[in-house]
């Protein structure tokens, strides 16, 4: 079904979607260079800060538990996250499971299972050759025999202590967790490599819209935000559901880059208007909002938040992480890249831009920053 309110430049009224509706309702069920000069020129007045920006637990409490496990999601809910974010891939029998990628050698103990040794192979995913084990070669029952591993053990050795303790969760299990949370908790699923999965006979868009509808999520007021780095799947989802859609935007040339996408072009005023015809929000790499200086510090804002708001798009940047390795120099604590620095200070800087939410690996830091900002 085509959304009836894709022109978000009109004043908010009943039946339209404005960025002011990104908060969970109390009654919700429990479930580069020249580019940024151009954007800055479009933003002659400072943006008004968003009321109560959403805190989305990126892959769960991924700074404390191996990512994309029920335990990581439960921990984030316990800490007070507004939404949790599962990355979704598909099994051979068409079931959604949560993994960062469909290649799972780095996030499971698959290499320790001799019964699956002959399934190691090489695939071309979004134009790149990848060797390993892929979820689409396994049934859900087979994946349930595996156990999760920490993806960044060198930076998060505490998480690695939980290796081989937790299962690979299905979307059905994640929905059960969210809907039994005892308070409103939203869901922000990201479909990974949907173009590839469609090419092998496992279309994700129809399956996801159907499963979410069966779980009671169908309208723009329901606490679900579907994300993708790819454009065509979001355009397709715009025809299938009235749930809110978020266009992810990665650094050009980075691991999130996908064929046919040129991220800086997407962030021009024309590009933002094009996104607004099928999506409700953008999820840019946070570097698009504030560029770092050569000294490793946060520089001046780019104007992207105001430009997106002018187009009617909400802005939810990623990813805020607590370790020194990911922080500006002045916000680090000592020289150990694994040590936790002043993540609330970094988040607070972005809150002043008027963002509508953020993806974080460490919910307590985001809550601290949001609370201080509200005061």
Q: Which domains does the chain have, with CATH numbers?
A: 26-102+168-374 (3.20.20.190)
What confidence tens digit (pLDDT) does each residue in 75-90 have? Answer: 999 999 999 999 999 9
| Average per-residue pLDDT for the chain | 87
pLDDT over threshold 50, residue 257: no
Question: In angstroms, what CA-CA distances link 93 with 105, 143, 189?
Answer: 20, 11, 20
Residue 51: its pLDDT value, please?
A: 62
Give 42's contacts (C-beta < 8 A, 6+ positions apart).
269, 303, 306, 307, 310
Residue 36: its pLDDT value, please?
A: 41
Residue 13: its pLDDT value, please?
A: 24
Task: Name the residue with tokens 């894709």.
Answer: 6
Q: What interhelical angle do 171-179 and 70-79 show, nearest 10?
A: 20
**Residue 263 banded pLDDT, cuts 50, 70, 90:** low
What confidence tens digit (pLDDT) does each residue in 159-212 have? Answer: 999 999 999 999 999 999 999 999 999 999 999 999 999 999 999 999 999 999
Determine the distance from the C-alpha atom of residue 67 to the mean position of all C-alpha atoms in its chain, rounded to a whole number.
Answer: 13
**Per-residue pLDDT averaged across 285-295, rounded?**
93
Residue 227: its pLDDT value, please?
A: 98
Distance CA 337, CA 233 (A): 37
**Residue 4 banded pLDDT, cuts 50, 70, 90:** very low
**Per-residue pLDDT averaged across 306-327, rounded?**
97
Residue 5: its pLDDT value, please?
A: 34
């Amino acid at each position: 079904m085509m959304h009836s309110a894709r022109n978000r430049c009109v004043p908010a009224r009943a039946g339209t979607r404005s960025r002011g509706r990104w908060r969970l309702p109390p009654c919700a069920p429990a479930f580069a260079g020249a580019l940024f000069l151009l954007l800055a020129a479009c933003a002659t007045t400072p943006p008004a800060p968003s009321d109560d920006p959403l805190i989305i637990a990126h892959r769960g409490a991924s700074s404390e538990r191996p990512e994309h496990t029920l335990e990581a999601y439960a921990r984030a809910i316990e800490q007070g996250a507004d939404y949790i974010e599962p990355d979704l891939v598909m099994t051979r029998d068409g079931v959604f499971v949560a993994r960062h990628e469909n290649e799972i050698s780095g996030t499971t103990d698959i290499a320790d299972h001799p019964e699956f040794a002959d399934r190691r192979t090489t695939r071309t995913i979004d134009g790149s050759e990848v060797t390993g084990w892929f979820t689409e070669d396994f049934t859900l029952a087979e994946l349930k025999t595996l156990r999760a591993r920490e993806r960044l053990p060198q930076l998060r050795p505490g998480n690695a202590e939980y290796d081989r303790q937790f299962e690979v969760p299905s979307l059905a299990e994640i929905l059960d967790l969210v809907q039994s949370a005892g308070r409103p908790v939203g869901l922000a699923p990201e479909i990974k490599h949907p173009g590839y999965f469609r090419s092998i006979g496992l279309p994700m868009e129809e399956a996801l819209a159907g499963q979410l509808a069966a779980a009671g999520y169908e309208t723009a007021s329901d606490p679900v935000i579907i994300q993708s780095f790819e454009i065509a799947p979001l355009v397709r989802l715009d025809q299938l559901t009235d749930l809110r859609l978020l266009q992810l935007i990665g650094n050009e040339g980075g691991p999130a880059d996908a064929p046919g996408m040129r991220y800086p072009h997407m962030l021009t005023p024309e590009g933002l208007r094009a996104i607004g015809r099928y999506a409700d929000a953008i999820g840019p790499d946070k570097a698009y909002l504030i560029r770092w200086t050569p000294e490793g510090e946060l520089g001046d804002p780019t104007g992207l938040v105001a430009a997106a708001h002018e187009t009617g798009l909400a802005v939810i940047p990623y990813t805020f992480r607590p370790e020194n390795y990911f922080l500006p120099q002045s916000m680090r604590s000592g020289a150990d890249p694994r040590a936790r620095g002043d993540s609330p200070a970094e988040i607070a800087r972005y809150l002043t831009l008027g963002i509508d939410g953020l993806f974080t690996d460490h919910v307590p830091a985001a809550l601290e920053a949001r609370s201080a900002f509200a005061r």
